[in-house]
Amino acid sequence: MAVECKIFGTLRLASGIDRLLLDIPEKSVPLRRILEELGQRKGLDELKKLAQNRNGESLPFILLLQGKNVFDLDGLETVVKDGQRVSIFPPSGGG
């Protein structure tokens, strides 16, 4: 399956990646698996740590699947299917 991943903010700056098309052999996978795949790339190691979080604590990322916040769905266990888009926004500061 093909999944489009869009990277924003400091993750984009650290990795030099703004958009990436992942090709995964399965027909659907949990979002956690997508984050593990992305976490293998330079500058995106924070995503691997995020994927390994198993205790359900609040996470400082906004993760969208098809424009919907995954924490309103099934969190990191939200199923991602062929042709869907994952958008990742890291924490940011401001005031």
Task: Report the topology of domain 2-89.
Answer: Ubiquitin-like (UB roll) (3.10.20)
Contact (Cβ atoms closer than 8 angstroms) between residue 86 and residue 80: yes
Q: pLDDT at position 55, please? A: 66
Residue-wise pLDDT tens digits, 7-44:
999 899 999 999 999 999 999 999 999 999 999 999 99
Residue-wise pLDDT tens digits, 37-86:
999 999 999 898 888 877 655 567 899 999 999 989 999 999 999 999 99
DSSP string, 1-14: -EEEEEE-HHHHHH
Spans of all domains in the chain: 2-89
Contact (Cβ atoms closer than 8 angstroms) between residue 79 and residue 28: yes
DSSP character at residue 70:
G
Query: What pTM did the predictor assign?
Result: 0.89
Q: pLDDT at position 59, please? A: 67
